[in-house]
Amino acid sequence: MKTLFNKYGIFVLIALFSIVYSFISVIKHNHFQTGLDFGIYVQTFWSYINLKLPKVTFYPTYGDLVWSDHFTPSLVLLAPFYYLWPNPNLLLILQSTLFVIGVYPIFLFCQDKTKNIYFSYVLAFAYLIFFGTQFALTFDFHSATYSAIFLPWLLYFLFYKRWKLFIVFLLLFIGGKEDAPLIASAIGLFLFFSNHNRRLGLIVFICSFLYLIVVTKYLMPSMSEFGAKIYTTPEFPKNIFGFLAVTFDSYTKNKTIFLSLASFIFLPLLSGWFALIPFIHFFTNFISRDFMGRWDIYLHYRVQLGAILSYASVLGYLKFVNFYHKPQSKKIISYLLPSLFLVCIIAMDYFLHLPLNTLFKPQFYKTEQWMLDNFHVISKVPNNAYVLTQNNLAPHLANREKLYYFPKNIDQADYILLDMRPGQLIINHWLSGEEKDINTQINQLINNQTFYVYYRSGDAILLKKNKQDQ
């Protein structure tokens, strides 16, 4: 039995966590807890399967090509799956499953290098419940998470010098999001300084930086016409003290670094040149003062660290164990260290109240009447209609060409669909205005007969433009 678990237990973990993360993300979506980011990608994939350019109508593109916001050419690989089942839930299930499968090369690498099956399973478990994994897989579908799917594999092929597969997965990785080349360049530096492959490392570093510049400075801005944001590169520090200041100059940054490394019991600090990669991740996320949301542990911003810190932990473990020369000491450490690791990662989950804990809350499973009302009204919206809606309803309506947040482009809209429940979360009406202002606008549209109530269920309301105004 023990032999069977050692051999096949990793597949049990993969199946279990694929199901769990898919389940949580689908439940959240069906309970209207997804929004802008998910809506963007649903509309993107709708465009792909209908052989249209992905001109996404949400903020910040407003009808520009989605690539003016995030440059994601390798994302098209998921389009055939969406063609077979054009349902937003499919994207969440694919994201969870493909990301969780990435634990397999990490497990193989750890088992091969450490010869410690206990540590290999603990590390796999740590990767699967790391806060960077949990927040990313229970958030909306996002290109950052999609890009990170390829990271465990390209690092695995790097360490085993399977250079053709390394290059293929590197291209898929940087094609997943426009800032992935920053991590790719860090990987190039590691290849160069660690003597794994100095020539390839230099090529990867240079080409990744050139790709980043061409994409962010030329391609993305050229696609912006109606309102997409322009990708800006913050000013780089001029010396080592500037780099240190950028990385450590706030409580939030220090907390993020500490919690990230503590989740892997600080073993990555012993990983030699490989430690460059996580610290370049921190630096590139911390350098922008215009978007401080990238500094913390939440959403998808730490998603790359799961794979990076896992491989770094294996390297750190080997260094730590080699400090001890006596076989008996090494044996003790080989059990003590993974045990400490296991306690630490479970404690991190408990004290940070991470998303997996929602599974133990009855409220998480409850489908309330207002949710049913929303679904009932959504079903009345024609497939090709020009619709205005709100943030948390948008992903459910995004399989169409024209979908904006109310009240944008109100003169051109055919329908307006809103949830008028009082006391909603502010994020539900993000970009639409305050709740009281929305109520006022809706009443004005009805009173001046621009729109009329086409269908209503509870507080969910669908307005249709009067024919005389069309």
Q: Please write the tens of the pLDDT for every residue from 100-156.
A: 999 999 999 999 999 999 999 999 999 999 999 999 999 999 999 999 999 999 999
Q: What is the pLDDT of residue 6?
A: 72
Tens digit of pLDDT for each residue in 158-193?
999 999 999 999 999 999 999 999 999 999 999 999
3-state secondary structure the chain: CHHHHHHHHHHHHHHHHHHHHHHHHHHHHHCCCCCHHHHHHHHHHHHHHCCCCCECCCCCCCCCEHHHCCCCHHHHHHHHHHHHCCCHHHHHHHHHHHHHHCHHHHHHHHHHHHCCHHHHHHHHHHHHHCHHHHHHHCCCCCHHHHHHCCHHHHHHHHHCCCHHHHHHHHHHHHCCCCCHHHHHHHHHHHHHHCCCCHHHHHHHHHHHHHHHHHHHHHHHHHCCCCCCCCCCCCCCCCCHHHHHHHHHCCHHHHHHHHHHHHCCCCHHHHCHHHHHHHHHHHHHHHCCCCCHHHHCCCCCCCCCHHHHHHHHHHHHHHHHHHCCCCHHHHHHHHHHHHHHHHHHHHHHHHHCCCHHHHHHCHHHHCCCHHHHHHHHHHCCCCCCCCEEECCCCHHHHCCCCCEEECCCCCCCCCEEEEECCCCCCHHHHCCCCCHHHHHHHHHHHHHCCCEEEEEEECCEEEEEECHHHC
Between CA 40 and CA 110 the distance in angstroms is 37
Between CA 119 and CA 146 the distance in angstroms is 27
Tens digit of pLDDT for each residue in 363-373?
999 999 999 99
Does residue 238 register a pLDDT over 90?
no
Q: What is the pLDDT of residue 5?
A: 66
Q: What is the pLDDT of residue 468?
A: 61
Tens digit of pLDDT for each residue in 305-350?
999 999 999 999 999 988 877 788 778 888 999 999 999 999 999 9
Between CA 101 and CA 95 the distance in angstroms is 10
Sign of the Cα pseudo-torsion (133, 137, 44, 233, in order)? negative
Between CA 72 and CA 141 the distance in angstroms is 13
Would you say 136 and 300 are in contact if contact means Cβ atoms under 8 Å apart? Answer: yes
Does residue 1 register a pLDDT over 60?
no
Does residue 231 register a pLDDT over 80?
no
Pairing relationship of beta strands 451-457 and 415-419 according to DSSP bridges: unpaired
Structure tokens at 316: 């750190």
Smallest CA-to-CA distance from 126 within 355, 344, 352 is with: 344
Tens digit of pLDDT for each residue in 390-409?
999 999 999 999 999 999 99
Would you say 66 and 40 are in contact if contact means Cβ atoms under 8 Å apart? Answer: yes
Cis, bond preceding 86 (omega within 30 deg of 0): no
Does residue 287 register a pLDDT over 90?
no
Does residue 254 register a pLDDT over 60?
yes
Residue 418's DSSP bridge partners are: 461
Mean pLDDT of the chain: 93
Q: What is the pLDDT of residue 230?
A: 58
Q: What is the pLDDT of residue 241?
A: 75
Q: What is the pLDDT of residue 196?
A: 87
* Total Cβ atoms within 10 A of residue 336: 10
From its phi and psi, is residue 406 left (phi > 0), alpha (psi between -120 and 50) or beta? beta
Q: What is the pLDDT of residue 444?
A: 94
Contact residues for 398 (Cβ-Cβ < 8 A; gap 6+): 38, 39, 40, 42, 43, 46, 88
Q: State what percent of residues in the chain have pLDDT above 90.
A: 84
Confidence of residue 202 (pLDDT cuts 50, 70, 90): very high
Q: How far apart are the first and last CA of the chain?
A: 71
Q: State what percent of residues in the chain have pLDDT above 70.
A: 96
Q: What is the pLDDT of residue 411?
A: 93
Q: What is the pLDDT of residue 244?
A: 79
The mean pLDDT value for 5-32 works out to 94
Q: What is the pLDDT of residue 237?
A: 73
Q: What is the pLDDT of residue 243?
A: 78
The mean pLDDT value for 423-432 works out to 92
Cis, bond preceding 54 (omega within 30 deg of 0): no
Tens digit of pLDDT for each residue in 443-462?
999 999 999 999 999 999 99
Q: What is the pLDDT of residue 228?
A: 63
Q: What is the pLDDT of residue 324?
A: 76
Does residue 469 register a pLDDT over 60?
no
pTM, 2 dp: 0.94
